Amino acid sequence: MITIRELLSRIRWDPEFGRGEFTVGYYDRIKDRIILVPLVRVRFDPDDRFSFQLTDAAGEPLSIPLHRVCEVYRDGTLIWRRQRFPLGRGSS
């Protein structure tokens, strides 16, 4: 299985593969569930290889570590799932 960084890089740099609507699912420790966000809402700092940034529904900026990304969807179809969720959590 490829890493989440490799997958995100392929989405960004492979024009054929990158077509479509992508959604990233990350584990929210406070809500204890996976939160799905459209990839177009995610921002990547070129100097930070370990997390991405987004703004939550309340307008608060969040920094999400890549190790908390659990799922990636393309046009509604699951294309990547972490084999084991963070903190020993099982699949949802």
| Domains of the chain, first to last | 4-88 (2.30.30)
Q: What is the pLDDT of residue 51?
A: 94
Cα–Cα distance for residue pair 42/36, rounded to 1 Å: 11
Q: What is the pLDDT of residues 58-76, one digit of tens each?
A: 888 999 999 999 999 999 9
Q: What is the pLDDT of residue 88?
A: 46
Burial of residue 53 (number of CB atoms within 10 Å: 0-12, 13-18, 19+)? middle
Q: What is the pLDDT of residues 22-62, one digit of tens each?
A: 999 999 988 899 999 999 999 988 888 899 999 888 888 99
92 pLDDT band, cuts 50/70/90, is very low
HEC states along 31-55? CCEEEEEEHHHCECCCCCCCEEEEE
Q: What is the pLDDT of residue 20?
A: 93
Residue type, 89: R
Which carries the bigger pLDDT value, residue 45 or residue 91? 45
Cα–Cα distance for residue pair 25/34, rounded to 1 Å: 6
